[in-house]
Amino acid sequence: MSQHWPTPAAPAAGAPPQEAEPEQVPRSPAPSRAGEDRPWWRRSLSLLIVVGALALKFGKALLLLLPKVKVLTTSATMLVSIAAYSLIWGWKFAAGFVLLLLVHEMGHVIQLRREGIEASAPMFIPFLGAAVMAKSLGDDATAEARVGLAGPILGTLGCFLLLPLAWSTGDDFWYALIFTGLFLNLFNLLPVVPLDGGRAMAALSPWMWFVGLFAMAVLAFTFPNPVIILILLLAAFETYRRWKARRSGDEAVLAYYRVKASHRFMIFAVYIGLIAVCAVGMGLTFVERDIPR
């Protein structure tokens, strides 16, 4: 934030004129504070250049070390994401948001391991979220839906665990953080792969993938955003690949998408329930802000 040095006050109207001194020693200018008058984006760019130079210098050692230490990998990518989000929200809100994202991703990790599938620790990607690596999402579409919905379930619970802090302090910070976390989980419930809602649709109705694609296209047109456009492109590719596999008539593929009626009902109930809970929670934690014009 740039700081403005005080300027001399103007003489009052009607004040008697003052005689100039014959020899007036010029005052030395106020000491400048280098760098503080630069816009925030230039300061941030300078920081990124320094970080990039360090990464180039020590990158090889980090690449050899990170795959061997999973906890360090997750922690390092978390710190990078916090630094990136801090440029927009400030470090406190960025740290809270990344922690809520971690809770969401741990829901996927826990369910994958419950399905007997080895899963990596979450890897954070600035402005794109996070990802968990696994060889598969389960033996069938029902397991895939369980893995997909486990993230929003645990993520939503993590948001609501912050409510006592919001109520006890009355601080808008906590309400805004809860609102943002719930929005993250609600967005992930869009019925399009690779989002969590698309995983649920694999067991409910794969036709809904096309509805999700249309919704993403509307979002990309209404709110042009690189992240939304990237998700739209990934969704279009994944939907085409999956639909082509289903139309091939391969028995293994068809068996994958066979879901019992009782399982389909439970997945539908959880899916709709999550949407309702997130929407109601966002309504309760919404904080109005005056935007200067």
Each residue's pLDDT tens digit, 176-220: 999 999 999 999 999 999 999 999 999 999 999 999 999 999 988
Residue 275's domain spans which residues? 40-285
Is 27 inside any structural domain? Answer: no
**Host H or E run for residue 124:** strand 123-125
Is 13 inside any structural domain? Answer: no
Is 8 inside any structural domain? Answer: no
For the stretch 5-30, what's the b/e string if a residue is b when 16 or more beta carbons lie within 10 angstroms of its beta carbon? eeeeeeeeeeeeeeeeeeeeeeeeee
Average pLDDT, the chain: 81
Mind listing the pLDDT tens digit for each residue in 267-288? 999 999 999 999 999 999 998 7
Is 26 inside any structural domain? Answer: no
Measure CA 140 to chain center: 28
> Which span out of 44-48, 256-260, 287-291 was modeled with the highest average pLDDT?
256-260
pLDDT of residue 20: 45
Q: Are 222 and 106 in contact (CB under 8 A)?
A: no
Q: At what angle do helices 172-188 and 141-160 cross, to 10 degrees?
A: 170
* Number of separate domains in the chain: 1
Is 20 inside any structural domain? Answer: no
pLDDT of residue 11: 39
Q: Are 114 and 175 in contact (CB under 8 A)?
A: no
Cα–Cα distance between 55 and 62 in angstroms, integer? 9
Close Cβ partners of 33 (under 8 Å, ≥ 6 residues apart): 3
Is 191 inside any structural domain? Answer: yes
